[in-house]
Amino acid sequence: MDIQTLINENNGYLKIADAVAFGISKASAISYAREQGLEKVAHGVYITKETWLDPYYLLQTRNKQIIFSHETALFLHGLSDRESQYPVVTVKRGYNASHLKLQNVKIHTVREEWFESGLDEAVTFAGNIIRIYDKERCICDIVRNRMKMDIQVFQASIKSYFTDTDKNLHRLMQYAKMMNIDEKMRQYTEVML
């Protein structure tokens, strides 16, 4: 695979690590980026002049151990009309996220056994694929953290989920049981349905 094909397949992004994985030397990839006038947007990441900078994709490219969650995921799923001021992510307990806090990223931590439950993918406004929790996991996360959430975002998201024709109540209750919030979730379910 040549470098331009790699850039095309990645929506205008050139990740030096990807080029190296395809057998292209790091020096050749960096030289190509400079010759083509690509803009360096992060360590080892370049974009073409025509490419929209996608902060979610860039953040996840640089931090493989994050999953977008809570307010950010609710917005991307269409369960909230308010985009979070800062990206909200979840990491495994014990992960050193101090570098993310310096970038104004809101961090939630969970047990390792919960980390990939409800893992899904979403397409950003720029057409890039990012890791995100599914709708049911998002609802469980906000019920679990309801005291730390904006009440209007919380209520609107709960209402949006329960009026959504694409909801999966069985999966919702499985996650709720896993997180030990099944009684609380039953109360919301009884009120909303």
- Looking at residues 85-94, what average pLDDT do you find? 96
% of the chain surpassing 70 pLDDT: 100
- Looking at residues 26-40, what average pLDDT do you find? 96
Question: Residue 192: what pLDDT?
Answer: 87
10 Å Cβ neighbour count for 13? 23
Q: What is the pLDDT of residues 126-183, one digit of tens each?
A: 999 999 999 999 999 999 999 999 999 999 999 999 999 999 999 999 999 999 999 9
Is beta strand 88-92 parallel, antiparallel or unpaired with respect to 67-68?
Answer: antiparallel
Which domains does the chain show, CATH number per domain?
Answer: 3-51 (1.10.10), 56-192 (no CATH)
% of the chain surpassing 90 pLDDT: 96
DSSP state of 186: H
DSSP state of 149: S
What sign has the CA pseudo-torsion 82, 122, 139, 112?
negative
Question: Residue 193: what pLDDT?
Answer: 77
Tokens representing 138 are: 């998002």
Query: 0.85 exceeded by the pTM?
Result: yes
DSSP state of 10: T
